[in-house]
Amino acid sequence: MIADPLDTTVTLLQDLIRAACVNDGADQAGQEIRAVRVLQDFLAGSDAEIEVYEALPGRGSLVARVKGTDPNAPKVGMLGHLDVVPVEREAWERDPFGGDLIDGEVWGRGAVDMLFLTASFATVLREVALAAKDGRPPRGDLLLIAVADEEAGGERGIKWLLQNAPIMREVTEIIGESGGMRFGNHLAIEVGEKGSAGRKIKVKGVPAHASIPFGSNGAVSVLAEAERLLREAKAPVVLGETWQAFVTARVSDETVAEKLRHPSTVAEGIAQLGVIAGYAHAISRTTFAPTKVSAGSAHNVIPASGTLTLDIRTLPGVNDAAVDEILRDTLAPLGADFEIKHLLGWAATQSPTDSDLFQVLSEVATEVSGAPTIPLLAAGGSDCRFYRELGIPAYGFAVLSPQWTYEQYRERIHAHNERIDVESINLTLTALRAAVGRRIG
């Protein structure tokens, strides 16, 4: 008897959750080699070519390939990560690493982000590998790229692999996370991600003895003023393709939608959006969020200098010089000396919506879900960006069931009681199988 692919995908997901590859950012965290072994067992006997890599001991990644017959056909990579973020165990209703299947939902850390998708990728690769073994090879190559360390930035995962495993660069297009959530009646396919341009602002104030504060303007006061000014940072509002798609899909009130379509009224429109306002604000401009502040050493000294650290997320097309210019303009009223130091960052990335892969993903998503699709710009980041930076189009894809609004998605990932419904796995698997078939079958 042939096992049902949905059942085997659910079982694989449970096994990946139980591998508990928790990544807190330390070199020896994750130990994704456990999940690699699960995938090796799953793919055993399929005849897929499999390579296992370790950037550091235990930081395992796996690349599995089925060779196509036509060297000019697309080479599709399915990019999934194996690591998960830590849990607060006592806040969970069930064992976060138990992989329980309860009332049609699989529970566990990573169920949504993104082990259900990594498991679905593995199932599709195995099916294609078994068909090839059976004398029906695909036209183009299909690769499963299952990586370590996504949750901590990819240094011990995709970044290392792109430098050390030439096979990583043999793909011509990528299917990854995070898509499939609903915006109104529409289903999202992620096409881009904002960039990161962290800054540390160093300010100078006028020091004084704290017993005679009259007329002083110490660094603490300057930092407070800087923070207030940054709340009004004048980053240009950009209402491009992904914005207009968001408004059309998500905002049913025509009066509000009309306000959102124009830069002069967009702020008023966002204020009327309710819970989705934060997301709308984030994808319409470069954002500035103060995250750390430091000044002073003794309670009786008004300090001369201090620093304010900012998490800055950039829109596509906004470079470092543009960020610094906004900062200088915004902080000009301080009058005090300040210096801007760059922290580690990366540019925003976006793949086109007129590529063959986007068209196919959009088509199959609509066939499977009945929902038209919209291109999504994500406020956060994923490993897809490393491929977009190489000029290889990458899309965050899935077909989640209708309950998965954007808000539910945001609430469930990295949260207590993370869980995914089997219906979403089924829809995703069906859509992926069709998309891969159309690109390389």
Residues of this chain that interact with Zn ion (CB under 5 A) are 113-114, 177
Provide the CA 434 distance to its chain's centre, in angstroms: 24
Q: How far is the CB of 175 from Zn ion (least distance, A)?
A: 14
Nearer to Zn ion, 173 or 177 (CB): 177
Q: How far is the CB of 336 from Zn ion (least distance, A)?
A: 41
Q: How far is the CB of 29 from Zn ion (least distance, A)?
A: 15
Nearer to Zn ion, 159 or 200 (CB): 159
Q: How far is the CB of 275 from Zn ion (least distance, A)?
A: 22
Contacts of 412 by beta carbon, 8 Å cutoff, 6+ apart? 112, 418, 419
**What one-letter code names the amino acid at 183?**
F
Nearer to Zn ion, 79 or 230 (CB): 79
Using CA atoms, how far apart are residues 130 and 127, in angstroms rounded to an integer?
Answer: 5
Using CA atoms, how far apart are residues 419 and 402, in angstroms rounded to an integer?
Answer: 15
Using CA atoms, how far apart are residues 180 and 368, in angstroms rounded to an integer?
Answer: 11
373 by DSSP, 3-state: which? strand
Q: How far is the CB of 93 from Zn ion (least distance, A)?
A: 22
CA atoms within 13 A on the CB side of 196: 14
SS3 content of the chain, % helix, strand, coil (to 5): 40, 25, 35
Q: Is the peptide bond before 114 cis (omega within 30 degrees of 0)?
A: yes
Nearer to Zn ion, 76 or 114 (CB): 114
Q: How far is the CB of 171 from Zn ion (least distance, A)?
A: 19
The 10 Å Cβ neighbour count of residue 179 is 28
Residue 197 near residue 384 (C-beta atoms within 8 A): no
Nearer to Zn ion, 66 or 361 (CB): 361
Question: Can you give 109-176 as a three-state secondary structure string?
Answer: CCHHHHHHHHHHHHHHHHHHHHHHHCCCCCCCCEEEEEECCHHHCCCCCHHHHHHHCHHHHHCCEEEE
Q: How far is the CB of 393 from Zn ion (least distance, A)?
A: 19
Nearer to Zn ion, 47 or 155 (CB): 155
Q: Cα(first)–Cα(last) distance of the chain, in Å?
A: 25
Tokens 């999202």 belong to which residue? 188
Q: How far is the CB of 317 from Zn ion (least distance, A)?
A: 25
Nearer to Zn ion, 32 or 113 (CB): 113
Nearer to Zn ion, 149 or 177 (CB): 177
Q: Is the peptide bond before 120 cis (omega within 30 degrees of 0)?
A: no
Nearer to Zn ion, 80 or 137 (CB): 80
Q: Which of 115, 116, 128 is nearest to 46 (CA)?
A: 128
Q: How far is the CB of 332 from Zn ion (least distance, A)?
A: 39
